């Protein structure tokens, strides 16, 4: 099977690889996996608490080229979006953008799962952290 | 392990079908009356071997049957028959091989049965994501979070090992740590395999009974165990590769 140029590009030059402080209230972490292939994907977002805009995103994925490309693309796409906008991203958008073949669709599913999980984690943190969080940020 | 070897007659499974040659009721592969090869039917592998849809099977018996059918379907025996019969015997042969390969391996057998029971592992994940998208709920991951954390950490260490190897170093402390992790994961794998076996027994007990709900419960548990087991299997394979090189 051959990878599309876009997959190869993300694979050889992945964007936004890295990690952020998991404990920070501004950071949401999504850790997801696909048992069929053993892939594991971690995607983190840093959200502005006032505007809900995702200011930064990082990922680390262990898996095939398509999984790496899907998560790399996901971090590019979520940056600059509000969390609600980011929730609109569908796995099929990723499939289309990267021209993923049917056997690699689960990689795009994983990336969507990771985005949703990261946002969910951030929302949960924000709810548990009391309203003064806004003030606490100097 | 209890092996149910009910000699389910293929006749019961194939219903109304009759032999193309003598019109007697036909078996899955050959006519029970005139012995002529039959066109292959779209039957599942259990039915092909006249087995009930159960997970503990007598593999010795299966193998014996496989050899016998292989002999009976050997192309040399069809040199003098019609072209149609030659084709049918080839079709039956390939079905026989697929069926045998799938059923003789207990894990493949389980995965196959789950597919027959309507479980598509990948589809399952995709449709769960779609449901989550619509409802706004968080999707339940098939692999529990703590296992994911461990898998992630182990992969980080593997990457570290590969990096240090590239620099021409062997990080002995890291190798020891990886080996320890590997042993742990192998133990987990064994535990999951045992757990799966218990579900085989449970499944077989309700396979014939009209207890759909119970069957679904056991089916879903098997899916869950298989998912985790596959994950760990791949991980151990990666660690072996990294340590071996």
Full set of structural domains in chain A with CATH: 5-127 (3.90.1010.10)
Whether the Cβ atoms of residue A42 and residue A59 lie closer than 8 Å to each other: yes
Instruction: Spell B157-174 as b/e; 16+ CB within 10 A means b.
Output: bbeebeeeeeeeeebeee
Q: Catalytic one among A17, A37, A87, A105?
A: A37
pLDDT of residue B8: 39
pLDDT of residue B207: 83
What proportion of chain B, given as a percentage, has pLDDT over 90?
A: 40
In this structure, what DSSP letter does residue A56 have?
E
Q: Does A102 touch chain B (CB under 8 A)?
A: no
Maximum CA pair distance of chain A? Answer: 53
Q: Do B230 and A112 touch (CB under 8 A)?
A: no
Q: Nearest C-alpha of chain A: how many angstroms from B139? A: 7
pLDDT of residue B4: 40
Q: Check residues B91 and B170 and name the one with the higher pLDDT.
A: B91
**Tokens at B92, concatenated:** 């039956």
Q: Nearest C-alpha of chain B: how many angstroms from A138? A: 32
A-chain CB neighbours of B238 within 8 Å are 38
- Spatial CA neighbour of B229 closest among B128, B58, B111, B54: B111
For β-strands A54-62 and A27-34, DSSP reports them as unpaired
Mean pLDDT, residues B174-181: 91
B-chain CB neighbours of A36 within 8 Å are 121-122, 125, 230
Q: Does A105 touch chain B (CB under 8 A)?
A: yes
Q: Does B64 touch chain A (CB under 8 A)?
A: no
Superfamily covering domain B10-104: DnaJ domain (1.10.287.110)
pLDDT of residue B3: 42
Whether residue A37 is predicted with pLDDT greater than 90 in this model: the reply is: no
- Spatial CA neighbour of A74 closest among A37, A48, A40, A112: A112
Q: Name the residue of chain B whose CA is nearest to A35's CA.
A: B231
Q: Nearest C-alpha of chain A: how many angstroms from B142? A: 8
Whether residue B174 is predicted with pLDDT greater than 70 in this model: the reply is: yes
Give A47-79 pLDDT, tens digit per residue: 999 999 999 999 999 988 999 999 999 999 999
**Domains of chain B by residue range:** 10-104, 145-244
Q: Nearest C-alpha of chain B: how many angstroms from A95? A: 13
Q: A74 CB contacts (<8 Å, ≥6 apart)? A: A43, A57, A59, A89, A94, A111, A112, A114, A115
pLDDT of residue B162: 87
A-chain CB neighbours of B141 within 8 Å are 32-33, 113, 117
**Tokens at B81, concatenated:** 């028959």
By Cβ distance, the residue of B139, B142, B151 closest to A40 is B151
For β-strands A39-47 and A27-34, DSSP reports them as antiparallel
By Cβ distance, the residue of B122, B138, B231 closest to A117 is B138
pLDDT of residue B6: 40
Give B45-77 pLDDT, tens digit per residue: 999 998 999 999 999 999 999 999 999 888 888
Give the confidence band of B230 by pLDDT, cuts at 50, 70, 90. Answer: confident
Dihedral of the alpha carbons of B77, B79, B81, B82, in degrees to the nearest 10:
140
- Side by side, the strands of the sheet bearing A54-62 are A27-34, A39-47, A54-62
B29: Cα separation from own chain's centroid: 23
Q: Do B231 and A38 touch (CB under 8 A)?
A: yes
Q: Do B152 and A42 touch (CB under 8 A)?
A: yes
Q: Do B227 and A35 touch (CB under 8 A)?
A: yes
B-chain CB neighbours of A84 within 8 Å are none
By Cβ distance, the residue of B129, B226, B228 closest to A113 is B129
Give A96-132 pLDDT, tens digit per residue: 999 999 888 889 999 999 999 999 999 999 888 765 5
A-chain CB neighbours of B235 within 8 Å are 38
Distance CA B57, CA B113 (A): 13
Whether residue A9 is predicted with pLDDT greater than 60 in this model: the reply is: yes
Is A64 annotated in the active site?
A: no
**Tokens at A79, concatenated:** 């940056």
Distance CA B158, CA A135 (A): 42
Distance CA A43, CA A60 (A): 7
Whether the Cβ atoms of residue A62 and residue A37 lie closer than 8 Å to each other: no
């Amino acid at each position: 099977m051959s990878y599309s140029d876009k997959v190869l590009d993300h694979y050889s030059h992945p964007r936004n690889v890295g990690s952020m402080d998991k404990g920070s209230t501004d950071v949401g972490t999504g850790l997801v996996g696909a048992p069929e292939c053993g892939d594991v994907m971690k995607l983190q977002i840093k959200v502005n608490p006032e505007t809900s805009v995702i200011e930064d995103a990082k990922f680390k994925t262990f898996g095939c080229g398509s999984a790496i490309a899907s998560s790399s693309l996901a971090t590019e796409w979520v940056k600059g979006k509000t969390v609600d906008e980011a929730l609109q991203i569908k796995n099929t958008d990723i499939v289309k953008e990267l021209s993923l073949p049917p056997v690699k669709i689960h990689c795009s599913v994983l990336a969507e799962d990771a985005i949703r999980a990261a946002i969910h984690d951030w929302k949960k943190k924000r709810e548990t952290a009391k309203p003064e969080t806004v003030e606490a940020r100097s | 392990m209890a092996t149910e070897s009910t000699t389910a007659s293929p006749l019961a499974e194939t219903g109304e079908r009759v032999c193309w040659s003598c019109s007697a009721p036909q078996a899955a592969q050959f006519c029970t009356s005139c012995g002529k090869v039959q066109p292959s039917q779209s039957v599942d592998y259990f039915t092909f071997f006249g087995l009930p849809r159960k997970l503990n099977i007598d593999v010795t018996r299966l193998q014996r049957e496989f050899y016998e059918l292989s002999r009976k379907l050997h192309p040399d025996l069809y040199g003098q028959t019609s072209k149609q019969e030659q084709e049918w015997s080839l079709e039956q042969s390939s079905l026989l091989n697929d069926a045998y390969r799938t059923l003789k391996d207990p894990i493949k057998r389980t995965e196959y049965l789950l597919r027959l029971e309507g479980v598509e592992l990948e589809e399952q994940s995709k449709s769960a994501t779609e449901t989550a998208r619509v409802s706004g709920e968080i999707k339940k991951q098939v692999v529990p979070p703590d296992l994911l954390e461990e898998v992630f950490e182990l992969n980080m260490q593997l990457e570290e090992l590969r990096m240090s190897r590239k620099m021409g170093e062997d990080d002995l402390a890291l190798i020891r740590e990886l080996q320890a992790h590997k042993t742990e994961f192998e133990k987990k794998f064994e535990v999951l395999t045992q757990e799966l076996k218990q579900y085989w027994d449970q499944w077989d007990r309700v396979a014939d009974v009209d207890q759909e709900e119970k069957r679904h419960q056991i089916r879903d548990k098997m899916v869950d165990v298989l998912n985790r087991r596959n994950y760990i299997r791949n991980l151990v394979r990666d660690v072996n590769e990294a340590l071996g090189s």
